[in-house]
Amino acid sequence: MNFEELKAKDKQYIANTYARFDVWIQSGKNAACRDESGKEYIDFGSGIGVNVLGYCNPGWVEAVTKQLSALQHTSNLYYTEPAVALAEKLCKATGYRKVFFANSGAEANEGMIKAARKYSFDRYGEGRSTIISLQNSFHGRTVTTLSATGQDHYHEFFFPFTGGFVFAPMNDIEALKASADETTCAVMVELIQGEGGVMAADVEFIQQVRKFCDERDLLLLIDEVQTGVGHTGHFLASEAFGVKGDITSLAKGLGGGLPIGAVLLSEKTESVLSYGDHGSTFGANPVVCAGANYVVDQILQKGFLEEVQKKGLYIRDKLSQLEAVEELSGLGLMIGILPKEKKAGELANECLKQGLLILTAKNKLRMLPPLTISYEEIDRGLAVLESVLK
């Protein structure tokens, strides 16, 4: 099949929900991938923050294939070792107490929302279930996570949406407090709004939210689907903000390229979900967990996250010298680039032609490269970006 035939069949047989870039990716190694003609691209997007160890990391491939040959799946009615090992690792790395495994970011957030509402129901009974979410947030594509998303255009067509979400502006603690009432049970935040344009919350604001939650026994729900698992140079971005959530959701990078979501439950919330309250056929799949164990082991190795921070600073330093860059945002290797004049979408398409895959978010270019990207790969990608920005 040639590329034109592939595109035609894609259009014919796959629901047309994605505006794809004009490229057919066939293989990859670390931060570089190839199309059907053999042309190489540096990938600054890592499949939207997923391939944290790059394409086809040999250790990860070995961990996954070894598990695949032993046991590909069994139901959650039985014990398996990879999920237990992963849960233990995540708890020890983050200070959370228990993990519920799901298959995606939206599912992890669904679990987080359910756990928050159940916590409140168990303590206070009915009528205390409203969650304050932030304007401009993004929490997923299921009906409930769309409802939790603070952007109006996600609240079209799919009525009726799940009730019980109100929205407060980021970085305005008084407005957030004013949006709380006796029905409120939780506050849900992204510490850096990824899809919303790589917009970091102020540390002080997040700490004030934490304090407010403690005063009212509201749960702080932190969506670390995009910020978690190393991209900010910390295992959890919350470490950089000096707070711990009552529940945190993870997904994307955790599996290193296989679908996983995780709900991290703290001391306060660890016992909220009990038999029958929640479940998932594929959640805690042994192959996916074997890959995730490898990812977490690598990221927690001494010096790994410091190296992520150094690479982040290196990239920021180079980008900040470019005349065509108006502003940089984000943390570590989660980077937003506001171009001075040109449109982000047009720039991303031009980058593609010149051999660079880069993401956009609102009016910005967005980088979420693999954490293992080499300096040589960074320089090659930045050279393209620089010439396109000019």
Ligand X SMILES: Cc1ncc(COP(=O)(O)O)c(C=O)c1O
The residue behind tokens 């398996």 is: 80
- Nearest-CA neighbor of 329 among 194, 209, 204? 194
Q: Looking at beta carbons only, is 283 or 377 nearer to ligand X?
A: 283
Pick the closer one to ligand X by CB: 264 or 388: 264
**Residue 261 Cβ vs ligand X, minimum distance, rounded to whole Å:** 7
Q: How far is the CB of 308 from ligand X (least distance, A)?
A: 18
Least distance CB 98 / ligand X (angstroms)? 21
Residue 297 C-beta: closest distance to ligand X, Å: 22
Residue among 264, 272, 274, 270 nearest 238 (CA): 264
Using CA atoms, how far residue 220 sits from 70, 94, 139, 180, 213, in Å, is: 39, 15, 15, 13, 6
**Nearer Cβ to ligand X, position 50 or 325?**
50
Q: Helix, strand or coil for residue 296?
A: helix
CB of 104 to ligand X, least distance (A): 4
Closest CA to 187 of 154, 158, 215: 215
Residue ranges binding ligand X (CB under 6 A): 104-106, 109, 138-140, 190, 194-195, 223, 225-226, 251
Q: Identify which of residues 32 and 241 has a Cβ nearer to ligand X in the complex.
A: 241
Q: Which is nearer to ligand X, 189 or 290 (CB)?
A: 189
| Residue whose CB is less far from ligand X, 63 or 359 | 359
Shortest Å, Cβ 49 to ligand X: 8
Residue closest to ligand X, measured at CB: 105
H or E stretch at 366:
strand 364-367
Establish whether the linkage from the previous residue to 370 is cis, with ω within 30° of 0.
Answer: no
What does each C-alpha distance from 237 to 152, 230, 279, 299 come to in angstroms? 26, 8, 27, 14
Residue 272 near residue 264, CB atoms below 8 Å? no
